Amino acid sequence: MTSRLHIRTPSLREVESQGEGHTGSATADIISTVEFNHTGELLATGDKGGRVVIFQREPESKNAPHSQGEYDVYSTFQSHEPEFDYLKSLEIEEKINKIKWLPQQNAAHSLLSTNDKTIKLWKITERDKRPEGYNLKDEEGKLKDLSTVTSLQVPVLKPMDLMVEVSPRRIFANGHTYHINSISVNSDCETYMSADDLRINLWHLAITDRSFNIVDIKPANMEDLTEVITASEFHPHHCNLFVYSSSKGSLRLCDMRAAALCDKHSKLFEEPEDPSNRSFFSEIISSVSDVKFSHSGRYMLTRDYLTVKVWDLNMEARPIETYQVHDYLRSKLCSLYENDCIFDKFECAWNGSDSVIMTGAYNNFFRMFDRNTKRDVTLEASRESSKPRAVLKPRRVCVGGKRRRDDISVDSLDFTKKILHTAWHPAENIIAIAATNNLYIFQDKVNSDMH
């Protein structure tokens, strides 16, 4: 076993979250989404308290070989505040459900962040110079006495400490009655979609006062409701294609060229139920919690409660690959139903070359599957077992039978420690893992096999 993954030093976020316990805001620090930008230079996290923290990768320098490309805090801002809907007498949570970066088109960076109801477009700019040498104003900005001005000078730009400024450029409100679960930027860089439990809307990035409804699965009679939308994403290359997943485990690929309202799918991806594994909970565990197109655009990755599946866009009948994340939980579904863990929504991620897929699990474990070698590994994101620059040790869950020394038994798994949100750098082997209110960033320094 030669995998060598290094953990970076704990981030500023981790330090802050420990200190904020006194205000009871420890839950506000729970990370609710993680997303790299398109180059991987920036990493954004959103939390339950409505804040966004952006990390920037330091450029590698010969002077400090140990801090090769590590991530440090770049900017922190409050994206969403708790709101109160007076009409319905409901509180709207400020928790950030999703963040998506826009492709960078100029010196500024832009991202979309959303809570249950409102999407916001944020612009992040840097200021590292300031003009000095005004003719009419002095250093403090006060007007000079004109009689003292004897010559004219051209103001020059002098360097200053880097200042990162964040401003909300658009607020896309009142588009959703139900809770937003996904947003996805179109490859045309002009539009994006937002999906809630029953509807998907298409927005133009520059227009906030209207959106187009492109999917509506709300039945005429709510009593006929049996299925909800769980996730959706635009195709990475074809601006007319998008996919959405449902609580019944199906995927629908839709083509916006076909009709204004894409209620009729172009393709329906569904795997028939395995009769030998049938139980009362079959539907719940088949509910898809995340769907991601591969970078190539040829495959889709889905996560349901016990597995991750790779689907070929050209084959609707069944996935081409299925990986067991934690099959040892199959016999414990009743307990997990009782304590609601069976409803946990895990995300999944592709690596840059679409050869490895990753997803989180319980006990702060996360799993990686190599599609080519068919090898998989279980790793743990925890402070106890990881020190800066330490090498991560693979973990194993034993179900019974022979047990090795460091194995964890199924019964001692901590189900409160769940890794729901993970992200993979678009090009390199760097992964970001959100474990409750801690962010772990692992970098693979050496090319490695997995066992």
Partner 1 sequence: MLSKGLKRKREEEEEKEPLAVDAWWLDPGHASVAQAPPAVASSSLFDLSVLKLHHSLQQSEPDLRHLVLVVNTLRRIQASMAPAAALPPVPSPPAAPSVADNLLASSDAALSASMASLLEDLSHIEGLSQAPQPLADEGPPGRSIGGAAPSLGALDLLGPATGCLLDDGLEGLFEDIDTSMYDNELWAPASEGLKPGPEDGPGKVEAPELDEAELDYLMDVLVGTQALERPPGPGR
Q: Which is nearer to partner 1, 141 or 400 (CB)?
A: 400
Q: Which is nearer to partner 1, 226 or 353 (CB)?
A: 226
| Among the residue ranges 152-160, 223-231, 310-318, 430-438, the one whose residues contact partner 1 (CB under 8 A) | 223-231
At residue 66, the 3 state secondary structure works out as helix
Among 56, 76, 247, 382, binds partner 1 (CB under 8 A): 247
Instruction: Give me the sign of the Cα torsion angle 152, 156, 161, 165.
Output: positive
Among 163, 173, 189, 334, binds partner 1 (CB under 8 A): 334
| Residue pair 290/231 in contact by the 8 Å Cβ criterion | yes
Tokens matching residue 48: 């339950």
Tell me the closest approach of the beta carbon of residue 141 to partner 1, in angstroms.
41
Q: Is 190 in the site for partner 1 (CB under 8 A)?
A: no
The residue behind tokens 């049996």 is 226
- Alpha carbons 36 and 434: distance in angstroms, whole number: 13
Among 106, 276, 314, 447, binds partner 1 (CB under 8 A): 276
Q: Which is nearer to partner 1, 33 or 230 (CB)?
A: 230
Among 272, 405, 411, 447, binds partner 1 (CB under 8 A): 411
Among 4, 38, 218, 295, binds partner 1 (CB under 8 A): 218
- Alpha carbons 183 and 98: distance in angstroms, whole number: 7
How big is the site for partner 1, counted in residues (CB under 8 A)? 53
| Among the residue ranges 33-41, 88-96, 165-173, 208-216, the one whose residues contact partner 1 (CB under 8 A) | 88-96
- Alpha carbons 213 and 259: distance in angstroms, whole number: 11
The phi, psi pair for 328, rounded to 5°, reads -65, -10
The phi, psi pair for 21, rounded to 5°, reads -60, -25
Q: Which is nearer to partner 1, 279 or 353 (CB)?
A: 279
Strand 408-409 and strand 397-398: the pairing is parallel
Tell me the closest approach of the beta carbon of residue 285 to partner 1, in angstroms.
10
- Alpha carbons 422 and 434: distance in angstroms, whole number: 6
Angle at 108 between CA 105 and CA 111, to 5 degrees: 85
The single-letter DSSP state of residue 362 is B
Among 4, 213, 321, 415, binds partner 1 (CB under 8 A): 415
| Among the residue ranges 28-36, 60-68, 294-302, 410-418, the one whose residues contact partner 1 (CB under 8 A) | 410-418
- CB atoms closer than 10 angstroms to residue 425: 23
| Among the residue ranges 46-54, 118-126, 338-346, 378-386, the one whose residues contact partner 1 (CB under 8 A) | 338-346
Beta-carbon contacts of 293 under 8 Å, excluding residues fewer than 6 positions away, are 233, 234, 235, 236, 243, 299, 300, 301
Q: Is 223 in the site for partner 1 (CB under 8 A)?
A: yes
Tokens matching residue 86: 């007076």
Q: Is 281 in the site for partner 1 (CB under 8 A)?
A: yes
Strand 438-444 and strand 430-435: the pairing is antiparallel
Q: Is 277 in the site for partner 1 (CB under 8 A)?
A: yes
| Footprint on residues 362-401 left by partner 1 (CB under 8 A) | 363
Q: Which is nearer to partner 1, 198 or 310 (CB)?
A: 198
- Alpha carbons 180 and 195: distance in angstroms, whole number: 5
| Among the residue ranges 13-21, 257-265, 383-391, 408-416, the one whose residues contact partner 1 (CB under 8 A) | 408-416
Tell me the closest approach of the beta carbon of residue 396 to partner 1, in angstroms.
16
Q: Which residues bind partner 1 (CB under 8 A)?
A: 82, 84-91, 177-179, 197-198, 218, 221-223, 225-228, 230, 247, 276-281, 283-284, 287, 330-341, 343, 363, 411-416
